[in-house]
Homo-oligomer: A and B are copies of this chain.
Amino acid sequence: MNFEFPLRELPAVMRGPRIERRRVLIGGSAFWGTMQDDTTQLRLDDGRLIDAEQASYLPPVTPSKIIAVHISYSSRSIETRNAPKPTATPTYFMKPTTALNGHRGQILKPADCSYLNYEGEYAVVIGRTCRNATPDEAWDFIEGFCPALDMGLQDFRDTDQGSMLRVKGADTLLPIGPGLVRGVNLFEQTLRTFVNGRIVQQAHIGDETIWGPHYVIADIARHITLLPGDVILMGTPCHSRSVDPGDVVECEITGLGRLMGTVTAIEAPRAAALNVGHAPTDSPEVRRVALGNDSRVAEYLKDNLRAARAQRGHE
């Protein structure tokens, strides 16, 4: 966490009671509802009580824009850079809204791509128009939080000069949900990503996040107006890796919920046969990002995270 902007008191959006809103498709209509305390039933606003496990989910957000933090976890910073020190300030990229996907969505992997990586994250959803706020004020503009999977086709890492439009922007590459949650202290939660039920990423948000959402909102809103519904993806911890068709990817954040998606093969685009555009590439740099650098991460985890956790244990 960025210690220059400590919380003086818990912001309203993180104080209870916990409220989780979900949006489902029944027949051909979308309905909003509120999760019941037992977390197995969804009370639709029209009074119907449905089994949350059986529902067909839509994204619980309708943003005008989606902005993502490149790196906001110390473990990810270590893993992806040569220097052991994170950058002094966060950096960002955008995902198009056509990438949105809901809980239990299909995450499409074209036949000519090899490296589709998961990144478990939490998303911040904007509630009110925000421009030119300080970090202290920024909390008031947050509607709530969602689990999210910022999926990426790393085969396109060599192109787009850092914007990652094709790495991160393809249709279906942003599962988000199942619900939009407020009334939970985000900084006490733990994020875990699962592939086929096995934990592949894990981070305590309070211990390991470099910048809080209040800092990020204040940073972006220096120059860019955030509108109600806009989504900010808060970065992923270390151990983003590639998955294959048939794999089930989940992002669980305690207090927020568990989001699931299934990797699904589609054929290569028709324009690929005409050699249109940058071809998916299998380079050393692509492999380095797609397949990761376990030794460096292991070193870091051993030294730093245990210390952080020990410190928290003593607070």
Contact surface of A with B, Cβ cutoff 8 Å:
4-5, 21, 25-29, 31-32, 45-48, 56-59, 64-65, 67, 70, 88-94, 96-106, 108, 110, 129-135, 153, 159-166, 169-172, 175, 177, 215, 218-225, 227-228, 261-262, 264, 266-267, 269-272, 274-278
- The residue among A5, A224, A271 with the most chain B CB atoms within 10 A of its own CB is A271
The answer to whether A29 and B106 have CB atoms under 8 Å apart is yes
* Distance between Cα atoms of A172 and B225 in the complex (Å): 10
Chain B residues closer than 8 Å to A270, beta-carbon distance:
47, 132-134
Q: Which of B5, B58, B271 contacts A133 (CB 8 A)?
A: B271
The answer to whether B225 and A134 have CB atoms under 8 Å apart is no
Count copies of this chain in the complex.
Answer: 4
The answer to whether B271 and A101 have CB atoms under 8 Å apart is no
Nearest chain B CB to A72 CB, angstrom units: 13
Nearest chain B CB to A96 CB, angstrom units: 4
The answer to whether B163 and A162 have CB atoms under 8 Å apart is yes
The answer to whether A135 and B65 have CB atoms under 8 Å apart is no
Q: Which of B25, B163, B227, B271 contacts A56 (CB 8 A)?
A: B25
